[in-house]
Amino acid sequence: MTKIKQLLIIKVLYLKKIIGNILKVVIPFLFGGGILYYTYRNFDFTKAWFALSEGMNYWWMVLTLIFGILSHVIRGMRWKLTLAPLGENPKMKNCVNAVFVSYAANIVIPRIGEISRCGILKKYDGISFSKSLGTVVTERLVDTLCVGIITGVTLLMQTNIFGIFFDKTGTNLSVFAARFTSAETYIFLASFLGILVLVGLILRKLSVFNKVAGIMKNIWIGIMSLKKVKHKWLFVFSTIGIWACYFLQFYLAFFCFNFSLHIGLLAGLVLFVVGSIAVVVPTPNGAGPWHFAVITMMTLYGVSRENAGIFALLVHGIQTLLIIILGIYGLAVLPFTNKNKSV
């Protein structure tokens, strides 16, 4: 192969990497933006501005933001707990600031925050990147379990309202049930499993496998660190604290507006569950799917679609602004709080 061909291949690969990185940013924004456009296509934004300037109770909004900050702080503290069994002892402030940065990073590229915060601890505390990534995987599994438990309990208590929600959004659950039990599904799963086995056998033949295996082993060690957490009850209470803060940050926002004051605790829990599921969709901070889900559900509780749109737009916008500010703060203070660390 000539040098010209080699250079062309390198350039093509480099271009593909650039295009891939651009698409990672652009596609979530386009997807979220498309849903936002559909949701707010006939919305009068002057009314949202009026609600922001004159119709909103700022004291309640400040309280919601305090709980938002507290949830990130507790998450940083809990992360330090899961790293301790691995023999890693990062500074508490670095864990918290890394969490601040990670949530802001997720706005730019969804799910990149998990990588960024592990990189921050690697840079400032010398923590193994792969092991810390394993603890983050564990953290996400615990969060998924929490969402599942909260959703299950809420479904049992408010089955009727969820049924109305599915009907209103055109979700036919029988179609999903039929698909899950169809023969085609199991054929697809079997084929997919076969492909995974084949890829695994090929990787074993590659020289890079040992390196990949070593990284995966460290990630697995990080995942299993939960079993060795010294203060397990503290971990449990921290997890409860995180989700309590999430809920209060959302629920107390109803007291910011006259049109949502009547929404009770149980209704707030239903809306919280729907919003929590919606943010799983990889858009910047759940923008689009979250608005659509919350607006649709609020109308079932007697709030007009216009007022529900105002609530979703202002609450999500202000909370997103908080995440951005905290991320900038974390990036700004990390170098100053680690002056003695050579990087």
The pair of structure tokens assigned to 309 is 């749109």
Could you give the CA distance from residue 266 to residue 32 in angstroms, rounded to a whole number?
28
Sorted by sequence, the CB contacts under 8 Å of residue 116 that are 6+ apart come out as 98, 101, 102, 105
Flag whether 78 is in a domain: yes
CA distance 130 to 222: 8
pLDDT at 200: 57
Asked, for residue 4, whether it belongs to a domain, the answer is: no
Structure tokens at 322: 């908080």
| Lookup: tokens for 16 | 């593909």
> Is position 92 within any domain?
yes
Cα 257 to Cα 17, 40, 247, 261: the distances in Å are 46, 19, 17, 7
> What dihedral angle (degrees, nearest 10) is formed by the CA atoms of 272, 277, 283, 284?
30
Contact 262, 302 (CB under 8 A): yes
User: Residue 62 is part of which domain span?
Assistant: 44-337
Length of the chain as a residue count? 343
Decide if 21 is inside a domain: no
Instruction: Tell me whether residue 34 is in a domain.
Output: no
> Could you give the number of structural domains in the chain?
1
Contact 270, 97 (CB under 8 A): no
Distances (CA, A) of 293 to 47, 283, 285, 301, 330: 21, 14, 14, 13, 31
Which pLDDT does position 341 carry in this prediction? 58
The half-sphere exposure of 229 on its side-chain side, counting CA atoms within 13 A, is 22
Residue 276 burial (10 A CB sphere; 0-12, 13-18, 19+): buried
Position 109, amino acid: I
Residue 290 inside a domain? The answer is yes
SS3 readout for the chain: CCHHHHHHHHHHHHHHHHHHHHHHHHHHHHHHHHHHHHHCCCCCHHHHHHHHHHHCCHHHHHHHHHHHHHHHHHHHHHHHHHHHHHCCCCCHHHHHHHHHHHHHHHHHCCCCHHHHHHHHHHHHHCCCHHHHHHHHHHHHHHHHHHHHHHHHHHHHHCHHHHHHHHHHCCCCHHHHHHHHCCHHHHHHHHHHHHHHHHHHHHHHCCCCHHHHHHHHHHHHHHHHHHHHCCCHHHHHHHHHHHHHHHHHHHHHHHHHCHHHCCCCHHHHHHHHHHHHHHCCCCCHHHCCHHHHHHHHHHHCCCCCHHHHHHHHHHHHHHHHHHHHHHHHHHHHHHHHHCCCCCC
The pLDDT, as a whole number, for residue 59 is 93
- pTM beyond 0.95: the answer is no
The answer to whether residue 315 sits within a structural domain is yes
Q: What pLDDT tens digit does each residue of the chain (343 aa) get?
A: 566 666 666 656 656 667 766 766 677 788 888 888 888 888 888 888 888 888 789 999 999 999 999 999 999 999 998 888 888 889 999 999 999 999 999 888 877 888 899 999 999 999 888 888 888 888 888 888 898 898 888 887 776 666 665 565 555 444 444 444 454 455 445 445 655 555 555 445 444 444 445 555 555 565 566 667 777 889 899 999 999 999 999 999 999 999 999 988 888 998 999 888 888 777 888 888 899 889 988 988 889 999 999 999 999 999 999 999 999 999 999 998 887 754 4
Please tell me the predicted confidence (pLDDT) of residue 7: 61
Neighbours of 305 (CB within 10 A): 14
Residue 15 lies in a domain: no
